[in-house]
Structure 1
Amino acid sequence: MQTNRPLLYLFTALISSVLVLPACGQSNSKKTLEQGDLKSIDSTQTTPKDLNKLLGDLKTSMISYLQTAKPSYTMDDINSCETILKQYLADMLTSKNKKAGMKIVKKTILTLNKLNSKTQETLIETGEREQIAEIIILAASRKGYNSVDEDITEEWRQW
């Protein structure tokens, strides 16, 4: 039986990259970002992929509704919402304790309230409310500030 050497080399390179690359640049004391554990992430790292995906899904949903229903919000409003939530995630990454974390939550919710008010309450409706709350709650819970079942947004949220 004859082997296909180029295919064998490609397979070997692929297997090597799968086994070697994940270990590059990670210390043994830190978990991977895919696990989404904010406690072990320092400020030089980025938001876990699952939180970025939730944020991307929210933006996609808002854009889709903008294109089909013609609500009273604009693409600028969607981008503002995304910026507010990205800032929240960045601030939460660097927060040092629950008190500081809850100040970040409050500030974010109040800022989103103003943005939603500007759009005649059309930017954040039921579906968006659930997605935004999930992002906020999940990021804070990964810092140990709340449980994933605890709605820490409700106290200040008007949407």
Structure 2
Amino acid sequence: MTDGDDIFNLENIEATIKVLDSYIKNLIKLGVKPKKKEIMKFVKEVVISLNEINDKYDYFIETMEREELCEYFIEAANIAGLVSDEDITEEWREW
């Protein structure tokens, strides 16, 4: 945004941050040794929320952002207890 890229704006950035914060908070609430199903529930929720935000704000999630977001979701899920290096977002992702 600071480089003059008008695809990003304060609204879509704030909406994205809110969703990402919610994802982390929900994973933390699971506690120690959550089940894969519990983690994947929150992965699905965050991906669907980002689909909606991306649609609302004229498709600002592009290749670089998608790769960074997928890496973020995988790493957070792994920290929460999921053992995977696969793209856990692909099933629901529209971006």
Q: Do the structures match in fold with TM over 0.5?
A: yes
| Equivalent position of 1:130 in the other structure | 67
Q: What do you get for the CA RMSD once the two structures are aligned?
A: 1.4
Which letter does structure 1 place at the counterpart of 2:48? Answer: L
> Please, what TM-score do these two structures have when normalized by structure 2?
0.87
2:37 counterpart of 1:102: no
* CA positional deviation for 1:80: 0.8
1:144 aligns with 2:76: no
Check conservation: 1:137, 1:146, Cα contact below 8 A: no
- Separation (CA, whole Å) in 2 of partners of 1:88 and 1:118: 20
- Aligned-pair distance for 1:76? 1.4
Larger Rg: 1
Q: Deviations over 1:84-103 (max 9, x none)?
A: 00110111112232111100
Structure-2 separation of matches of 1:154 and 1:146 = 16
What does residue 27 of structure 2 align with? 92
Q: Look up the equivalent residue of 2:51 and give its one-letter code.
A: N
Tell me the number of residue pairs that the alignment of Structure 1 and Structure 2 aligns. 92
* TM-score in terms of structure 1 length: 0.54
**3-state secondary structure, aligned to 2:4:** helix
Contact 1:88 1:105 in 2 (8 A): yes
- Spell out the pairing of 1:49-88 with structure 2 (5 A cutoff): 63-64=1-2, 67-71=3-7, 73-88=8-23
Q: Following TM superposition, where does structure 1 have runs of at least 4 consecutive aligned residues deviating by more than 6 angstroms?
A: none
Structure 1 residue runs without a partner (length 5+)? 1-62
Shift of 1:119: 1.5
* Alpha carbons 1:146, 1:152 under 8 Å: kept: no
Q: Give the one of 107, 118, 123 matched to 2:56.
A: 118
Unaligned segments of structure 2, at least 5 residues: none
Deviation at 1:146, TM superposition (A): 3.0
Cα displacement (A) at 1:152: 0.3
